[in-house]
Amino acid sequence: MLAYVLLVVCFIVIAMLWNEGMWSNAITMVNIVFAGILTWNLFEIVAGWLDKQIPSYTYACDFLAFWLLFALMFNILRASTDQISKIRVRFKKPIEQGGRVIFAVLSAWVLVCIMCASFHVAPLSLSPFKGSFAAEPKAKCFFGLAPDRMWLAFMHTRSKKAMKSVLGQPKVFDAGGDFTLKYASRRKELQAHNLKTDGTIRVKKR
């Protein structure tokens, strides 16, 4: 089930970028990557703040913070790059046609990786989408390609190298390799809570 949802997302993104040029699609892909990196570095901080504001929705705070941040970061980056690069760079027709398709597909794939990884922090059951996501700790979704694992591994390696020097990050992302396990435990708690409360994600205010 999840694989088909992600395929639809891929097709939608590719369709939206299909008529854009190679230069625009390349910028879009870079913006998605950087928006994802910034979001993954900040969403837990923002989620902690949200949890204090709306404690009864504590299970939804991480996912909400993640996508609010991602939308904000992407739009800021897009607006900035549009101002910096106001003139579309033109390439020879074969390069232009091939390049726009390649960057459209890459943009769709990166977004799918980020989206799939975000499901780990979503207010879902332990193994949602009829068991097609996180059926076991090392399960690989999306036809075995595991886009969520790809993004988490990318974040882990970048935080050890480039991001540490550029952003001054004090620690390696998921240094202990327990990110998915931590959030699996959280989803398991929510699943137990749902069984007791007829499916609501709200909890009593602390």
What does the H/E/C string look like for 182-195?
Answer: HHHHHHHHHHHHHH
Residue 72 lies in a domain: yes
Quick check: is 204 in a domain? no
Question: How many domains are there within the chain?
Answer: 1
In a domain, 50, yes or no: yes
Q: Per the domain annotation, does 202 fall within a domain?
A: no
Q: Which two tokens stand for residue 178?
A: 């327990």
What average pLDDT does this structure show over 155-174? 67
Average pLDDT over residues 37-53: 90
Find tokens 């959030």 and name the residue.
183
- Look at residue 192 and tell me if it is in a domain: yes
Determine, yes or no, domain membership for 205: no
Q: What is the domain range of residue 46?
A: 2-196
Distances (CA, A) of 103 to 36, 52, 53, 201: 17, 40, 40, 38
The reported pLDDT for the residue numbered 159 is 77
**Tokens linked to 145:** 């390609």
Does pTM surpass 0.85? yes
204 pLDDT band, cuts 50/70/90, is low
Query: What is the model's pLDDT at position 206?
Result: 46
